[in-house]
Amino acid sequence: MHSTLKLTVSHAPFWHNGSSISSKSRNILLASLLAVIPGCYQYGSAAVGVVTLSIASAILWELLINFISRRPISVGDGNAALIGMMFAMMLPATTPWWAVVTGTFFAVVIGKEIFGGIGANPFNPAVLAMTILMLSWGDLFDFNAALLNYQFDFNSVYPLVLSKSFGAPAVESLPLMDLLQGKQIGGIGSTFGIGLILGGVYLMLRGVIRWEISISFLAGIFAAALCFNILNPELYAGPGFHLLTGYTLIGAFFLATEDSSSPVNFIPMLIYGLLGGALTVLIRNIGTHIDGVLYAILIINLVNPIVDKIRPKALGKGV
């Protein structure tokens, strides 16, 4: 009776499937490297600098908030690093250091920590920070100006600017295969389509991101772009172009799928994705902004709590 043996006593269940937040972050970071490494290869050491600074500053901002708010140190779960990575993937390689650090401040502190940390953010932190920066210092993110000094062996005009300013015929000179292979200018980690798709498929197969969101997001873009294209082929580029340019692929696989700001039920996930895709094309084709992905994702983040009310009845409730 009076044994000194101290057994572990806890509540059921006594098994766990082994998943954790840090392994999830690690997987997404790994998958994003498929797009980031070719990006760094294309833009050189400047891009490496932006990516590393972004990740490092995001982690430091979170650490700082941990200290100020006297909460347990949470950088170990990898979420801050992930936010930094996502943010860097959208940036042009020539972004000045202060803009990167300001951006990760908005992402980690304003986007996530002031809402209560991981799981409590209503918007995707990286997207929120990116839109704040784009509205504040628009010139920095004009890809044509930002990447002016680079010499490429392909047409170095931001494809979405071409389609916006000169209509569909202007982008016919851009073969879709080239766009897929990253022969276009844009964010460090958002142009190499093959890498983004491979990374996205890996994440979907592993169950790290919800395939319903990614697929329906792409389907929404495809359907909406196709409608525009059929209505006026002179003015609006085809769905293939919209799928492979701007932030579409990174948005579908990495941004829209952020856990906290996306729905969890099947039908809401489909609505969420479709809505995001359709909004993207609407903003691109008839809005004033050049790329609509970020604004579309912010809007569907807002809609998320409402659409997630569409859900099956719980056991024993209703008929």
Partner 1 sequence: MIKRSFFGLVKPKLQYEIIDEAQAEPVSIKTSKQIMLYIDQSVDPSLENAGENAGNVLLKTGDQVKTGQKIAMTDDAADYLLSSQSGQISKISTFVGIMGKNYTSVTIDVDGESSQNVDEGFKNVCQAPSLENAREFLTGLPGQPDFNVFFDSEKPVKAIVVLGVDDDLLSTTNQYFVKNNIIAIKTGVDLLCKITGISNAILIVPQHLEQVAGSSGAVVKTVDSEYPSAHPELIMRHILASEDGESKSKSGIAFFSAEAVCAIGAAYNTGKLFLEKLVTFVSKDGNKQLVSVPIGTPLQDILNEFNETLNDGDRVILGGPMQGISVFSADYPVLPDTDTIIIQDKNQITERSDIACINCGECVRVCPANIQVNQLIRFLEAGQYEEAADQNDLFSCIECGFCSYVCESRIPVFQHIKLAKHTLESMKAAEESNA
Q: Which residues bind partner 1 (CB under 8 A)?
A: 1, 3, 5-21, 24, 74, 77, 116-120, 204-208, 210-211, 259-260, 262-266, 311-317
CB 63 to partner 1: min, Å: 16
Smaller CB separation from partner 1, 125 or 239: 125
Smaller CB separation from partner 1, 245 or 257: 257
Would you give the distance in Å from CA 228 to the centre of its chain? 25
Burial of 122 (0-12, 13-18, 19+ CB in 10 A): middle
String of DSSP letters for 154-219 = S--S-HHHHHHHH-HHHHTTS-HHHHHTT-S---TTSS-HHHHHHHHHHHHHHTSS-HHHHHHHHH
CB 252 to partner 1: min, Å: 17
Smaller CB separation from partner 1, 154 or 202: 202
CB 7 to partner 1: min, Å: 6
Q: What is the DSSP letter of 253?
A: I
CB 14 to partner 1: min, Å: 5
- Determine the angle formed by the axes of helices 21-43 and 45-68, rounding to 10 degrees: 150
CB 64 to partner 1: min, Å: 19
CB 75 to partner 1: min, Å: 13
CB 21 to partner 1: min, Å: 6
Sign of CA dihedral 290, 293, 294, 298: positive
Q: How many CB atoms lie within 10 A of CB 146?
A: 18
Which residues are CB-contacts of 190 (< 8 A; sequence separation ≥ 6)? 35, 39, 89, 90, 196, 246, 247, 249, 250
Please tell me whether residue 153 adopts helix, strand or coil conformation: coil
Smaller CB separation from partner 1, 7 or 288: 7
Smaller CB separation from partner 1, 21 or 132: 21
Q: E-assigned strands of 47-170?
A: none
CB 9 to partner 1: min, Å: 5
Smaller CB separation from partner 1, 205 or 230: 205
Sign of CA dihedral 6, 12, 13, 16: negative
Token pair belonging to 272: 């969420």
Sign of CA dihedral 56, 82, 148, 154: positive
- In angstroms, rounded to a whole number, what is the distance separating the alpha carbons of residues 28 and 135? 28
Token pair belonging to 192: 């190499």
Smaller CB separation from partner 1, 120 or 231: 120
Smaller CB separation from partner 1, 107 or 146: 107
Is residue 185 within 8 Å of residue 145, measured between CB atoms? no
CB 98 to partner 1: min, Å: 31
Smaller CB separation from partner 1, 148 or 264: 264
